[in-house]
Amino acid sequence: MVPSIPSVALNSGARLPLFGLGTWTAMNADELKIALRVAIDAGYRLIDTAAFYQNEHVIGEILEEYFKAGKLKRSDVFITTKLPFNSMRPAEVEESIKKQLASLRVDYIDLYLIHVPCPMKMDVSDTNIQKAFQRKLTTAKFTFENDVDHIDTWSVMEKYYKSGQLKALGVSNFNAKQIQDLYDLAEVKPANLQVELHIYWPQHQLHELCKKLNMTVTAYAPIGSPGRLTFRPDDNWPIGSPMEDLVVVELGKKYAKTPAQILLRHLLQRDISVIPKSTNPDRVKQNINIFDFELSPTDQKKLLDVQKRVRLFEFRFAAGHRYYPFDDVDLSKKGDEADDGI
């Protein structure tokens, strides 16, 4: 039986499902097609992607397949995608939005986010931005575009919001000051913040700010992004695995659920939208099986009281940028204490 997925209201009046499919690192088209079909059949109605992920065209193909077969209507599916960091100048924003609409084979995007607050260029000719980015991490620095202001990027997004091609706007990986500054200047207020969020990095202060500003929150890496190691498999990541936390493991035994299901349910009960990524059909089906139980207030508090703190995505590739967002990161650390994720 397909579960009924709860949702939260966006400031645009639309509703954001609290559960969906993340697709970062899902670059194998055949695997992603299978995962998308399994997800949709299991009841997923939120799909999260980005220009940077290089898979919007695959998602568009599968959605069109379901639309043409009459299995879904466009209004049944909520699509979130993101503006890449190398297309934040106004003319580039226009071009990117048009390309992304075409790749997704839709007339509108439900939620469009600025992916990273740091405009930059990679100075590469490779059309596959993600592979070029992976090479760039280990070969050279990026060219920062410190003269691009967020509000100039945002103003173009507002134009497409007013035309109906973008139904809601938001940001990703912004810090509190960047959110507030943009909010104060924007005509169309941001509706959503997508950030790394899990028991080891619970983002309580940012969550409270978003509540104050009538913004919803989406958690990426809600179970700790074990798949991040496939993106850069050289151990160049902060160490932390929420799924292995003893509190999570014990609650999994108590509720007869997987650690991932416990972590997802925990955030769901905080009214935070979660987008776990998997292309494994069994895990795709497992992850959505979180609507037949509820964590007790006592057990929810146990997870809230976990003391370990680790940011898994530090964005060191943007260190030194005018808009580098994380003042908690010790940029002097190297090796296995650093990361270069996005």
Name the pTM for this structure.
Answer: 0.93
Three-state DSSP string of the chain: CCCCCCEEECCCCCEEECECEECCCCCCHHHHHHHHHHHHHHCCCEEECCHHHCCHHHHHHHHHHHHHCCCCCHHHCEEEEEECCCCCCHHHHHHHHHHHHHHHCCCCECEEEECCCCCEECCCCCCCHHHHHHHHHHHCCCEECCCCCHHHHHHHHHHHHHCCCECCEEEECCCHHHHHHHHHHCCCCCCEEEEECECCECCHHHHHHHHHCCCEEEEECCCCCCCHHHHCCCCCCCCCCHHHCHHHHHHHHHHCCCHHHHHHHHHHCCCCEECCECCCHHHHHHHCCCCCCCCCHHHHHHHHCCCCCCCCCCCHHHCCCCCCCCCCCCCCCCHHHCCCCC
- 126 within a domain of the structure (yes/no): yes
Q: Check 44, 53, 161, 323 and give the catalytic one.
A: 53
Query: Is 70 exceeded by the pLDDT of residue 139?
Result: no
- 1 within a domain of the structure (yes/no): no
Query: Is 70 exceeded by the pLDDT of residue 307?
Result: yes
pLDDT top residue among 144 and 234: 144
- 342 within a domain of the structure (yes/no): no
* Residue 87 structural domain: 7-337
CATH of the domain at 331: 3.20.20.100
Query: Is 80 exceeded by the pLDDT of residue 342?
Result: no
- 38 within a domain of the structure (yes/no): yes
**Domain count of the fold of the chain:** 1
- 165 within a domain of the structure (yes/no): yes
Residue 255 falls in the annotated catalytic set:
no
184-195 pLDDT, tens digit each: 999 999 999 999
214-268 pLDDT, tens digit each: 999 999 999 997 666 665 544 566 677 899 999 999 999 999 999 999 999 999 9
